[in-house]
Amino acid sequence: MISWVEAFWVAFIFVALAEIGDKTQLMAMSLSARYRDALIVLIAAVSAAVFWVVIGVVVGSLLAVVFPFDLISKVAGILFIIFGILTLKGKV
């Protein structure tokens, strides 16, 4: 069984790497420059991120009860590829 420390660091590293140059990061930079109140923008951005991460964790936990992990992983991979192709075609 995976320890909570290992789970924490794996999740932290993957999410941190995935967010580099993300639209959210660019939006936070833009809003900080526009409103010149970095603390308020930081609090709002972190609050929004926490909200969506909580939704993702709850949905993921519920899916894990109903479906086997292998199926969830394969479906997620297929959807990722489909959205990538649609993005390249300019349809998303």
Domain spans in the chain, listed from the N-terminal domain onward: 4-66
Range list of H helices, 1-92: 4-18, 23-35, 38-66, 69-88
Of the candidates 41, 17, 19, the one whose C-alpha atom is nearest the C-alpha of residue 31 is 41
Specify the pLDDT at position 23: 86
Q: Whole-prediction pTM value?
A: 0.66
**Other residues' Cβ atoms within 10 Å of the Cβ of residue 28:** 19
pLDDT digits (tens, 9 = 90+) for 11-46: 999 888 888 888 888 999 999 999 999 999 999 999
